[in-house]
Amino acid sequence: MHDDRTLVEARLRRVLDERVRPAVYPESVPLEVAVWHAPGEPVPVAEGLAAEPEPIAVGARWGAPWGTSWFRVTGTVPEAWAGRTVEALLDLGFDENMPGFQCEGLVYRPDGTPVKGLNPRNQWVRIGAPAEGGEEVRLHVEAASNPVVLDYHPFRPTALGDKDTAGTEPQYTLTRMDLAVFDETVWRLVLDLEVLGELMAELPVDSARRHDILRAVERALDAVDLQDVNGTAERAREQLTGVLSAPAVPSAHRISAVGHAHIDSAWLWPLRETVRKVARTTSNMTALIEDEPEFVFAMSQAQQWAWVKEHRPEVWARVKKAVAEGRFVPAGGMWVESDTNMPGSEAMARQFVHGKRFFLDEFGVENEEAWLPDTFGFAAGLPQIIRAAGAKWLLTQKISWSQTNKFPHHTFLWEGIDGTRIFTHFPPVDTYNCSMKGAEIAHAARNFKDKGRARHSLAPTGWGDGGGGTTREMVAKAARLRDLEGSATVVWETPRAFFEKAEAEYPEPPVWVGELYLELHRATLTSQAKTKQGNRRSEHLLREAELWAATAAVRTGFPYPYEELDRIWKTVLLHQFHDILPGSSIAWVHREARATYERVAAELTAVVEGAQRALAGEGTTALIFNAAPHARHGVPAGGAATAPAGRHRTTLTAGPDGGHVLDNGLLRITVDGRGLVVSAYDLAAGRETVAPGRVAGLLQLHPDFPNMWDAWDVDSFYRNTVTDLTDADSVTAGEDGESVRVVRSFGDSRVTQVLSLPPGEKRLVLDTEVDWHETEKFLKLAFPLDLHAERYASETQFGHAFRPTHTNTSWESAKFEACNHRFVHLEEPGWGVAVVNDSTYGHDVTRGVRSGGDRGTTTTVRVSLLRAPRFPDPETDQGVHRFRHALVPGAAIADAVREGWRINLPERRTTGAREVAPLIAVDDDAVVVTAVKLADDGSGDVVVRFHEAHGGRVRATLTVGFGIADVTVTDLLERPGGDGEPPVRDGDRITVALRPFELMTLRLRRA
């Protein structure tokens, strides 16, 4: 038999495109259209409906960037259409290749009832099947003219990312506003042919099944009269019945489809637009649920649900009804789909506390899965947090984006730093916007790495962002793929149903230990420095506010600000979303974030100061309040205030070559005439810190122009070229006698660095102010250390994780930029060095060889300070920035932990009448208290959360500074729970035993 396969396949493509798809709407009449352009920000729905529009014609341009236009469409169903299905086709100027990245609309009835969203792949509104013609149609469309920021030529600088710079040029052309007859038979024929054509393309050329489909398709095409598609569509469908009813083989891969719309809480649009994106999508999905009895939709991010509740109560009512039916599923149990690398311990915990509590309070739903399809890598402390929140599963897809190494599993156990294991699934479909194309389904089956041991995978199905979610076409395709020979099988299921099946069939999956590092988007640890700084400072201010407010409430009856703290926590958690905190959003988002962090800081500072005034009373005694979890300067840890102790002294003398020497009896720091640290000598250990022939505190400048994803990526070749900033404008002694001030100029920028050696403290502090005006550059701060280390520790949530310093394998080589929280620590047996920071996250660690021929390795730690990408914010990081770092020679891991907390929680000095004792005191520095607060339920119980921070086992005693009636171990939501050895209470003393990095939460009922 002659091979005519390509001939039939080409015929199928053309007939579908030019004859069958157009016949879905065989008749149409134009609607009358009028428009009112809102003058500024979006207006309430009632105002938009009441506005008086002016006529506009199809073909007219409309929509200034970030504007809102209210279209009114009116018309009459022709008499001849009586009994036929009629739809309105409303094309605002969509590009079907860009669902989620352009204009969108939400359709309302005249009474304000939302109908559904309008999106590039979802332009129809069902009018119905009127028994008689002549029905009047009147709809209103709230249309958002969001500009296309990520265009066909991506990553080009654009002013469209902020309404202040975007201009007023109309962005879109009104394309179609019609009433049309919808021919469901032809629509079903389209889907039959699409499913079979796409399946056929994925089957082996020599397979019998492929040729069976080919001949059936050929017969169907023969049965279609191209001059009368509507009259012959049913005849064509009959030719496909046999191949569509052939069942899948028993070994077929099984896909759980979950309706989904991954909506970034901010990215190439501001937060206010996400509120409307969510309303459009939830309107679409509740409408689809009503039409499709098997369809199930899952939506994560409690913040987005809260926005619907607050801003679109009519949509909220429909959502609640669908949730009650089990068809619209709250997923993930987090406030937002946050970054997980940079949020601190408590913030990561509170993502689950606030997310899970919202779903419990609103729907009684207990989420057992973490749902993070798009987050840029996963910190090694996360499994314990997931478990402590009462969850046990994790889903993500993003690791499939890694550029260097292919992850070896799709279903596995992920083990965190404390030994907690979480059942984890990576959908092998490799997208969180599955559209049920045959290529996607076949890829999922072929790609699944756990064949022979497991058979199930999950496919998040639907257009994300502003794409409107799952479409009726996706649902129809899934129905055809439910049990189809040659394909994986597809069934709509909830995330819980999938995980239960996957876990049951795979009782002993492989284990992956440590962080899930994404080999991409590494620069998100540095971009938008002020957003990151605002996050870090907000986290520590929240710790202080809770600590001092709880202490004042117990000691003085101070009114604990429950509602204020709840609101601020949710604001901070929102801004940890995985395109805000990582710095990959448009200028508008980060401009608003900076202003938000300023407001948060002012509010929290007021709480702290009010609580401290209540505690200290009126008086003139000088007091130091210490919120850090370790004692310092004679002030106890954990929320104490005492009178300041006497000071030690630091000397400043002239050094060689016009430099200076700082000495406090613990360290001797030599700064040369260029303002560079040539020696940091540990006097007690008799040991030099700086690598021979090298200088520390060195600023290094690299070119930074990645191949793609400017704000997200730094590519390894950036290190091929480096400029050491060694020239100084001035190097002078500080007026305090304890510091050296260095000023440098480079490019269009200027940096002022103050190197200080605090009396009585074994740390060199570097305060760096950069007036940054570079473009596509990367600024690093380098510390070459005379230290041999095979690995180093970097702080993560509730502990630290280790990374190798070598690049033996591609896995290690790929980690050329990594995340730390407050410290990086390296050590040889008996002596180590820490580099601590107050607001940076990105860093790199490399190995070198000692100069002078005596062999031996050195290790260099470089802190990432600033970048200057031009997309999506062309002015990223321009302006003045201030950073604080400290070099801590002779540091054990305990010193690194302590100094990391101290640099982030400076003392507060005030005056008062009395000293303050801590609510909770711990007798072992290995136990770090991360939160002291009153219970969220308003009971007045005190909640204390702590963990083992050094990586060893510990038995410690907590002394409670108030009368207690009961002690309960709880989960993160302050409910009874937890595992491990239970605490032992003896009066006001509680003894706990913790394994390495174990997290524990205690609830103390006050007597």
What does the pLDDT look like over 641-667, one tens digit per residue?
676 666 679 999 999 889 999 999 999
pLDDT digits 0-9 by tens, 843-887: 999 999 987 767 799 999 999 999 999 999 999 999 999 999 999
Mean per-residue pLDDT for 528-547? 98
Q: What tens digit of pLDDT does each residue of 767-815 get? A: 999 999 999 999 999 999 999 999 999 999 999 999 999 999 999 999 9
Helices (H), 734-860: 810-813
Backbone angles phi, psi at 934, to 5 degrees: -90, 150
Residue 8 falls in which region: left (phi positive, over 0), alpha (psi -120 to 50) or beta? alpha
Q: For residues 299 and 305, is the Cβ–Cβ distance under 8 A?
A: yes
Question: Tens digit of pLDDT for each residue in 809-842?
Answer: 999 999 999 999 999 999 999 999 999 999 999 9
Catalytic residue selected from 151, 225, 374, 924: 374
Q: What percent of the chain has pLDDT over 70?
A: 99
- Predicted confidence band of residue 921 (pLDDT cuts 50, 70, 90): very high
- Distance CA(591)–CA(164), nearest Å, equals 11
pLDDT value at position 737? 87
pLDDT at 129: 83
SS3 (DSSP) at 751: strand
Percent with pLDDT over 90 in the chain = 95
- Angle made by CA atoms 684, 686, 687, in degrees to the nearest 5: 115
Give mean pLDDT, residues 56-76: 98
Closest Cα to residue 340, out of 410, 277, 390, 398? 398
Task: Give every strand in the sheet of 984-986, ordered side by side.
Answer: 920-922, 954-960, 989-994, 984-986
**Rg of the chain on CA atoms, in Å:** 31
Is residue 374 part of the annotated active site? The answer reads yes
Gap between the Cα atoms of 540 and 788, Å rounded: 33
Nearest one of 214, 258, 221 to 236, comparing CA atoms: 221
Q: Rounded to an integer, what is the distance from CA 221 to the centroid of its chain?
A: 48
Size of the chain, expressed as the number of residues it contains: 1007
- Average pLDDT of span 91-112: 96
Q: Is the pLDDT of residue 711 over 90?
A: yes
pLDDT, tens only, 885-910: 999 999 999 999 999 999 999 999 99
Residue 49 and residue 51: Cα distance in Å, rounded? 6
Judge if the upstream peptide bond of residue 872 is cis by omega within 30 degrees of 0.
yes
DSSP notation for 443-511? HHHHH-TTTTT--EEEEEESB-TBS-B--HHHHHHHHHTTT-TTS-EEEE--HHHHHHHHHHH-SS--E
Residue 306 DSSP symbol: H
pLDDT band at 620 (very low <50, low <70, confident <90, very high): very high
